[in-house]
A and B are shown apart, each in its own frame.
Chain A
Amino acid sequence: GQQVMQIPQYQHVQEGEDFTTYCNSSTTLSNIQWYKQRPGGHPVFLIQLVKSGEVKKQKRLTFQFGEAKKNSSLHITATQTTDVGTYFCAENTGTASKLTFGTGTRLQVTL
């Protein structure tokens, strides 16, 4: 079945450093959503990307959707300890359909 891979699996940064996680698929993605899950918490929706080459920003977070719609990235500028958690991409194949989650990237930020 469809597999969405994320790299890296884990990243440990010092506060203030940048962080990027990449989401890759072997097939064309309909659209991509990003979620954040804090340790012991539940996934929280961050953003949805639909168009080829789309770039969206939320404060220190920048989301990109590849031109071929086979990959996506999330970049965090100047990480803070509040950024700690696991970031998942998820393919949303359309209206009222299941999400296929990526493998996730766990981010640890230390002072």
Chain B
Amino acid sequence: NAGVMQNPRHLVRRRGQEARLRCSPMKGHSHVYWYRQLPEEGLKFMVYLQKENIIDESGMPKERFSAEFPKEGPSILRIQQVVRGDSAAYFCASAQGAKNIQYFGAGTRLSVL
């Protein structure tokens, strides 16, 4: 039973490029969450999705960031025109059921040069 899969594990982009981060939830899970963790800080919620729907995007920056969870395939977090301040670890988590226990992927470490 595979856990939450994220790829790539490490991503290097130059300023102005686009970053695409992928997340496949645990089998049977339909709730996907994205969190960002800056170095030496805690995790900050970004967005919560279910299949084909964004449920809560209250933590998403208004510009350059978008997320989707299509009917088929992984959830994608997309960052356009990256800036140095976007350098962080981006974690995806999935959950299912009333207890809302979230299982985290290994994360994508984004470095913007």
A residues with CB within 8 A of B = 33, 41-45, 48, 88, 92, 94-104
Contacts and interface: CB of A to CB of B under 8 A. Distances in A.
23 contacts: A33-B101, A41-B106, A42-B91, A42-B104, A42-B105, A42-B107, A43-B43, A44-B104, A45-B103, A48-B101, A88-B43, A94-B100, A96-B31, A96-B100, A98-B58, A99-B35, A99-B102, A101-B35, A101-B43, A101-B44, A103-B41, A104-B41, A104-B42
A14 B35 CA distance: 33
Given A42-B107, A45-B102, A92-B100, A99 B42 contact: no
Interface of B: 31, 33, 35, 41-45, 48, 55-56, 58-59, 91, 93, 95, 98-107
Given A42-B105, A44-B104, A45-B102, A97 B56 contact: yes
Nearest to B40: A106
A42 B42 CA distance: 11
Given A96-B55, A103-B42, A43 B100 contact: no
Contacts of A48: 99, 101
Contact of A98 (B33, B103, B107): B33
Nearest to A9: B40
B42 A95 contact: no
Contact of A43 (B44, B91, B98): B91
Nearest to B106: A42
Given A48-B101, A99-B100, 7 more contacts: A96-B31, A97-B100, A98-B56, A99-B33, A99-B35, A99-B45, A101-B35
Nearest to A10: B40
A100 B48 CA distance: 13
B100 A100 contact: no
